[in-house]
Amino acid sequence: KINPPLKIYNPKTKRYIQQTSLTSQQPKNKWFDFMMKEGGYIAHGSTLIPLNLKKLVEWQEQQLHGNRNQHEDNDDMMHETNKNDDLEEEEEDWYIVTPKITTSNKTTTTTPTTPTTTNLPNLHQLLFVYKPPKLLTLPGIHQTDCLTSRVNHWLYTSTEGSAILQRARDSEILDTSSLPKTKKRKKKKKKEYQPRPVHRLDYDTSGLVIFGLTSTSHSYMSTLFESRCITKRYVALVAGHVGGTHDDNNDASLPSSSSSSNSGMIDVPIGKIPTNDGYNKWSCFDDSSSSSSSIIHTQDEFVPQSIRHAKTYYNISTSFTLPTSTTTSTTTSTQKAKYTRMILTPHTGRGHQLRLHMKYIGHAILGDELHGDDDGRCLIQEVCKERLCLHAEYVSFDALIGERGEEVVGRVEAFVVPPF
C-alpha cells in the first residue's frame, strides 16, 4: 500500500512512462513534456487518455456567441480514445503517501491562530493516503464502500496496517502520560475509536486525505483545519484561457486587480439553494450589480443563514492552445481548443468551493457534471468523461515528530503527483 510505482501507459508510443512531479524544481522528463508542453491528455486507469478537444471548441463557441440552443448529437463529436484495445482499464485504489519532514531549531512565537506544541498532532498518529476519483471519503446513505471503510479494513486485517495502528496507539499513551494528572469523574466506557479522516474530498476529486489514527490526533488536526493553520493546494484543468494570458482571450469576469496577472483571488460567498427534488445545492451569491455570471442567485433563493464567506487564491500554471479539425460533408476546418492548468489554494472550505469559483469566473473545471453547464447538457463533462479534473496535490502543517513523547516540532509536507 505504500507509494506504488506510478507507471502510465502512453498509447502514442505504446510504452510506459514514469509519473513524476511537474514542478520546476524537478528535472524535465517525458511526463513533464506530455503534461506541460504537449497537453491534451490526463492519466486515468494507468493510461494516458485524450481530452475531447472538439467538445471544448463547441463550448468555447457557445460562450463567445451566447448560443444556448439544443445541439444535435454528432458522432464526430463523441469522445475520442487512443487506448490499446488489448489493455483493460485498471480501477484505481487508495495507497499510503509518505510525508516529507523538515525540522527547525527556531522558537516560534505563538499567535491566536498558531497552536502551541501541546495542541499539535503527533505525526505517528496520522496516516496520509491517496483517494482515487469516484470514491466517497465517508460512507453515504446507500453506499458503504468508501475510502474510510477500505483504509480501516486494511488497518485491522493486514500485518502492516495493524503495526501502524498499534504504533499510533502506543504513541498516544506516551503523549497523555506526560500531561499533568488531574482528577477525573468516572465516565462510561466509550466505544473504541475507529480511525477516520480529518477532512474530506468530493466523490469526484482525487488526492491527499489525512486520517487520524487516534482520537487525540483527530481532534488536534480538526482544530488546525478550523484555525486555517494547514496549507492545501489543488490542481485543476479549466476550460478556456484564464485572465490576460493571451491577447485573444481577455477575461472580464476576473477581478480587475488580477486581469493582467497570472495569480489572483476570488472572494465570493457560497450558500445552499433548495431544489425541486427536496435537496439543497451549493451556489455562489453575489449582490453586486456588475456581476455577469449566470450562476448567481438572489438572496431570497438561498436557505436562510446558509450563505458563508468563501475565498480562493489561484495561480495560472500553463495555458494550452491545441488545434483540432472538424469535418463536415463538404469541408474540413481547423479550430483551436483552449484550456488552462490552474493551481488553487482555498482559504476557506465551503462545499464545492473550487468548482463554483471556477465557474463563477467563466472557466468551469473540465469533467464537472454538476456545475459545468447551466442548461443541463453537461458539455464540460463531455470534454473529459473519465473524471473531474480536480486533484488535491499538497498539504503542509506543523506537527510533533518526536519518537517517545518528545516535543520536537517539524514541518510536515505531503505531495501526490497530479494526473494532469
pTM for the model stands at 0.83
- Given a cut of 90, whether residue 174 has pLDDT beyond it is no
- Given a cut of 60, whether residue 245 has pLDDT beyond it is no
Q: Return the closest-CA partner of residue 369 out of 361, 360, 359.
A: 359
pLDDT class for 408, splitting at 50, 70, 90?
confident
pLDDT class for 258, splitting at 50, 70, 90?
very low
Supply the pLDDT for residue 375. 55
Strands (E), 242-389: 263-267, 270-274, 280-284, 311-327, 332-346
Cell of 86: 488489448
Q: Over pLDDT 90: what percentage of the chain?
A: 35
**Which range, 234-243, 286-295, 343-352, is most confident?**
234-243
- Given a cut of 90, whether residue 351 has pLDDT beyond it is no
- Which of the two residues, 161 and 13, has the higher pLDDT score? 161
pLDDT class for 238, splitting at 50, 70, 90?
very high
User: What's the whole-number mean pLDDT along residues 42-49?
Assistant: 88
d(CA 207, CA 94): 10
Q: Return the closest-CA partner of residue 233 out of 340, 341, 320.
A: 341
Q: Return the closest-CA partner of residue 201 out of 355, 18, 98, 336.
A: 355
Burial class (CB in 10 A: 0-12, 13-18, 19+), 248: exposed
Alpha carbon 44 to chain centroid, angstroms: 15
pLDDT class for 79, splitting at 50, 70, 90?
very low
pLDDT class for 272, splitting at 50, 70, 90?
confident
Supply the pLDDT for residue 178. 55
Angle of CA points 191, 176, 121, to nearest 5°: 85
To the nearest whole number, what is the mean pLDDT of the chain? 79
Q: Over pLDDT 70: what percentage of the chain?
A: 73
- Given a cut of 80, whether residue 368 has pLDDT beyond it is yes
Cell of 220: 488536534
User: What's the whole-number mean pLDDT along residues 182-194?
Assistant: 70
Supply the pLDDT for residue 80. 44
Supply the pLDDT for residue 247. 42
- Which of the two residues, 2 and 194, has the higher pLDDT score? 194
What element of type H or E holds 396? strand 390-400
- Given a cut of 90, whether residue 246 has pLDDT beyond it is no
Burial class (CB in 10 A: 0-12, 13-18, 19+), 50: middle
Supply the pLDDT for residue 32. 83
User: What's the whole-number mean pLDDT along residues 195-209?
Assistant: 94
Find the range with the poorest average confidence among 69-78, 162-171, 308-317.
69-78
The predicted-structure confidence for 321-334, as pLDDT tens digits, reads as follows: 999 876 666 666 78
